[in-house]
Structure 1
Amino acid sequence: MAEFMIKDINLAPQGLKKISWAASHMPVLSNMGDELEQIKPFAGKKVVICLHLEAKTGYLAMTLQRGGAKVAVVASNPLSTQDDVVAALVKQGITAYAWYGATGDEYRLHLNKALDFEPDLIVDDGGDLVSLLHGKRRDVLPGVVGGSEETTTGILRLKAMEKEGTLSFPMMAVNDALSKYLFDNRYGTGQSVWDGINRTTNLVVAGKNVVIIGYGWCGKGVAMRAKGMGARVLVCEIDPIKANEALMDGFQVMPLIEASPLGDYFVTVTGNKSVIHRAHFQVMKDQAILANAGHFDVEIDKVALEEMSQEMVVVRPNVQQYRFSDGRALNLLAEGRLVNLAAGDGHPAEIMDMSFALQAKSLQYILESGDQLKAGVHKVPEVIDKGVAQLRLQALGYEIDQLTEEQKKYLDSWEL
């Protein structure tokens, strides 16, 4: 059995059932796994996966293992780890360092243990693993061939490192692939955020005001689903182009300070810090729901919330209620962490099928490219991006039209 630091190995049978369910709804990754098992592109290579450790991630780890890799997993978020899934991975011979509810010190210990694995390739979510590699764990850097990043936040951090000249190996920007953000960020986030909010609060959405802070692809998805459930949607933005998009999509647009007294639900989707802060808390209505769908637990200013309130009471699992001296109470979901994962099961399996297929193909591309890929942030090649989309259509039994040679010639010509 692989090395591990986990909650309880006896949870493995339950976790394996979860992974099997996800796998049965991830045909692209399944077909890719069959191919990888034949050619073994990762033979002799070590891969560290730092993602939300739930069933879909588990299946990605097992797919890379089929391709010959020795795999270790570590959590990118202490509140999204599913202990039974992690136990199942250990039973499958995968090294694991994670458990639900890990403290800050435990989280850092797990990351360091994962780097002790001495990976050739990494899959990161948010940039914590890459940041640690380039900070306190530079001893591991020489052996890292490259990796891939899953999130918008992580790619922003990587580009900052690239700009400074500190990024030491190639990283594939999986989040920026069309087959990722058009589906994962929009439809995946849109559905899973409301799955998390609804199962946690057991409150109605129809007829209420939902304030979406950030109208990127994730924000678009959350807003679309809120509208579909009958909410009145208010959008807060700093980008005039995205604000115009929100207007033309039929939503109200206003500064957050104006939306604060109106909102029943607030969902942050920005990737920035202190997006909701003291001035907003002061004017929010009693029993407002605060949820974060950005990457880290910094979008909602929890320090200010604690300082302003008289007491905090956990009124339901994953609901912290902050009570104020004026009689109002504000409800923070999942400690301000990603509500769709910390209070739910994350994106649907069919969505993550495409995203994780891109991850697997991106790692394979890094190995096949050899020294041709320089240190820095790289786009997923179009042939991989569209190839994954085509594989999904095939798996679902759909066909699409093809250009004729005459049409191709016409599109390539500038002459009348």
Structure 2
Amino acid sequence: MEYHIKDISLKEEGKKRIEWAEKDMPVLRSIRERFSKEKPLKGVKISACLHVTTETANLIITLKEGGAEVYLTASNPLSTQDYVASALVAYYGVPVFAIKGEDTQTYYQHLREVIKREPDIVIDDGADLISTLHKEYSDIAQRVLGGMEETTTGVIRLKAMAKEGVLKFPIIAVNDAYTKHMFDNRYGTGQSTIDAIMRATNKLIAGSNFVVAGYGWCGKGIAQRARGMGATVIVTEVDPIKALEAKMDGFIVMPMIEAAKMGDFFVTVTGNTSVIREEHFQVMKDGAIISNAGHFNVEIDIPALERLSVGKREVRSFVEEYQLADGRRIYLLAQGRLVNLASAEGHPASVMDMSFANQALCAEYILKNHHKLQKDVYRVPESIDRQIAHLKLKSMGVEIDSLTSEQVKYLSSWEVGT
């Protein structure tokens, strides 16, 4: 296929929205300006599996400006903005393979389409592209110079591959950059998840019991935003250190089996499977609303909910009502997929600015340094992380101090005491 999208006639709306997002992406814009002049990616083929949004479009355009030949597919069947896909094809000449609501078979066919282009560099969000590349196209994987991974779930999967010795090329864990996870995960996921729940349900969050499963950076962001909306926030955790942090941050901490009895809203954000499952559904209130902001739709045990239900219907866009045998109703948002991208628009452009600046600079880094790297998962180089932070501060009109020569000497010596 040359490309596979829903409707090319949506291109004008997509172009306007891409341009709107670009206004809030000054760091990526500055990189694009340099890339346009230097063409550091000239002749390089890049296959990307990302959420097809306005922010992603600006990354793809930046890579093209750098001289790359770019192919794009969706990292989630429900996250694609069809108008963005059409604009990328029509105005920017990018082959896109993504349709919002595509079934699983189509999703994997789209992954295969971008793999068949025999990329030099891959960009992934969740590691489905890289795992499919390894499983089905070993010969192509052998020739890949390196890749980047955008999200926590994907990094976990890729580290497991590296540990087993099956990873065929180096990976830069963009998710682990400070300018990514401390901002994108916390502020981006926090705001966009609350936005999505409100759009989908039009329910009042103030005064509710809001359960957040997982207190990583994403969970912290959601918990903070929910508290800001006036909810009583309950955190569930399996990690004693994170649970202690949540308690010290002022949240109620308890096991999910107890939280399930109290919650009005539930959001899973753990990266694990079956976090909300049958025993939790059995004790939930009538009208409980459950959603997921982790990468895959396995955090909520939907098959168990199906088994417990005697009826199911869609009551609003992205809201499915499951009626249980005892008459209680449980509402599942966005089919258990990423709620912030399925029923809203994902993270604001200003925070994705840093995440995608990392992606662009890491593509350049891999091209220059792949021969020095092992088949392993690496952190983003500190120099790139700091460069992006400085550029972001500059775009916000913020200046900071620099160390004096005396301070540099003090911090690098051991002789001076009190």
* TM-score scaled by length of structure 1: 0.99
- Please name the residue that 1:137 is paired with: 137
> Which region of structure 1 is more displaced relative to structure 2, 352-361 or 393-402?
393-402
Q: CA deviation at 1:139?
A: 2.8
Contact map agreement 2:144 2:169 (CA 8 A) in 1: yes
Instruction: Give matches, 1:355-394, under 5 Å.
Output: 355-394=355-394
How many angstroms apart in 1 are the aligned matches of 2:177 and 2:378?
A: 10
Q: CA deviation at 1:3?
A: 2.4
Contact map agreement 2:276 2:300 (CA 8 A) in 1: yes
Instruction: Give matches, 1:47-196, under 5 Å.
Output: 47-91=46-90, 92-196=92-196
SS of the residue corresponding to residue 119 of structure 1 reads: coil
Instruction: Give matches, 1:333-352, under 5 Å.
Output: 333-352=333-352
Contact map agreement 2:170 2:378 (CA 8 A) in 1: yes
Aligned amino acid, residue 3 of structure 1: E
Q: CA deviation at 1:36?
A: 0.7
How many angstroms apart in 2 are the aligned matches of 1:54 and 1:407?
A: 45
How many angstroms apart in 2 are the aligned matches of 1:234 and 1:405?
A: 48
Instruction: Give matches, 1:235-246, under 5 Å.
Output: 235-246=235-246
How many angstroms apart in 1 are the aligned matches of 2:370 and 2:233?
A: 48
How many angstroms apart in 2 are the aligned matches of 1:190 and 1:9?
A: 32
After superposition, the C-alpha distances for 1:338-357 in whole angstroms (9 at most, x for unaligned) are 00001110001000000000
1:5 aligns with 2:4: yes
Aligned amino acid, residue 253 of structure 1: V
SS of the residue corresponding to residue 272 of structure 2 reads: coil
Q: CA deviation at 1:398?
A: 1.2
How many angstroms apart in 1 are the aligned matches of 2:6 and 2:327?
A: 40
- Please name the residue that 1:273 is paired with: 273
After superposition, the C-alpha distances for 1:346-370 in whole angstroms (9 at most, x for unaligned) are 0010000000000001111011114
How many angstroms apart in 2 are the aligned matches of 1:339 and 1:14?
A: 23
How many angstroms apart in 1 are the aligned matches of 2:177 and 2:390?
A: 14
After superposition, the C-alpha distances for 1:32-58 in whole angstroms (9 at most, x for unaligned) are 100011111110001111000010001
Q: CA deviation at 1:140?
A: 1.5
Q: CA deviation at 1:72?
A: 0.5
Contact map agreement 2:142 2:169 (CA 8 A) in 1: no
SS of the residue corresponding to residue 136 of structure 2 reads: coil
How many angstroms apart in 1 are the aligned matches of 2:274 and 2:396?
A: 42
Q: CA deviation at 1:143?
A: 2.5
Q: CA deviation at 1:116?
A: 1.1
- Please name the residue that 1:413 is paired with: 413
- Please name the residue that 2:298 is paired with: 298
SS of the residue corresponding to residue 48 of structure 2 reads: strand
Q: CA deviation at 1:237?
A: 0.5
How many angstroms apart in 2 are the aligned matches of 1:239 and 1:97?
A: 38
How many angstroms apart in 1 are the aligned matches of 2:174 and 2:257?
A: 34
How many angstroms apart in 2 are the aligned matches of 1:354 and 1:55?
A: 14
How many angstroms apart in 2 are the aligned matches of 1:264 and 1:146?
A: 44
Aligned amino acid, residue 147 of structure 2: G
How many angstroms apart in 1 are the aligned matches of 2:248 and 2:291?
A: 25
Q: CA deviation at 1:209?
A: 0.2
How many angstroms apart in 2 are the aligned matches of 1:105 and 1:288?
A: 31
SS of the residue corresponding to residue 62 of structure 2 reads: helix
SS of the residue corresponding to residue 235 of structure 2 reads: strand
Contact map agreement 2:43 2:69 (CA 8 A) in 1: yes
SS of the residue corresponding to residue 57 of structure 1 reads: helix
How many angstroms apart in 1 are the aligned matches of 2:364 and 2:182?
A: 23
- Please name the residue that 1:252 is paired with: 252
How many angstroms apart in 2 are the aligned matches of 1:405 and 1:356?
A: 34
How many angstroms apart in 2 are the aligned matches of 1:277 and 1:370?
A: 43
How many angstroms apart in 1 are the aligned matches of 2:39 and 2:141?
A: 24
Identity %: 56
Unaligned runs of 5+ residues in structure 2 are none
- Please name the residue that 1:331 is paired with: 331
1:210 aligns with 2:185: no
Aligned amino acid, residue 17 of structure 2: K
Aligned amino acid, residue 285 of structure 1: K
- Please name the residue that 1:227 is paired with: 227
Residues 283 and 407 from structure 1, CA distance in 2 versus in 1: closer, same or farther, beyond 3 angstroms?
same
Unaligned runs of 5+ residues in structure 1 are none
Q: CA deviation at 1:93?
A: 0.8
How many angstroms apart in 1 are the aligned matches of 2:101 and 2:181?
A: 28
How many angstroms apart in 2 are the aligned matches of 1:317 and 1:257?
A: 29
SS of the residue corresponding to residue 143 of structure 1 reads: coil
Contact map agreement 2:212 2:223 (CA 8 A) in 1: yes
SS of the residue corresponding to residue 414 of structure 1 reads: coil
How many angstroms apart in 1 are the aligned matches of 2:168 and 2:138?
A: 10
Q: CA deviation at 1:315?
A: 0.2
SS of the residue corresponding to residue 415 of structure 2 reads: coil
After superposition, the C-alpha distances for 1:176-199 in whole angstroms (9 at most, x for unaligned) are 110011100111110010010001
Aligned amino acid, residue 350 of structure 2: E
How many angstroms apart in 1 are the aligned matches of 2:137 and 2:110?
A: 13
After superposition, the C-alpha distances for 1:260-294 in whole angstroms (9 at most, x for unaligned) are 11000010010001110000000000010001011
SS of the residue corresponding to residue 148 of structure 2 reads: strand
How many residues are treated as equivalent by the alignment? 415
How many angstroms apart in 2 are the aligned matches of 1:371 and 1:137?
A: 22
SS of the residue corresponding to residue 135 of structure 1 reads: helix
- Please name the residue that 1:312 is paired with: 312
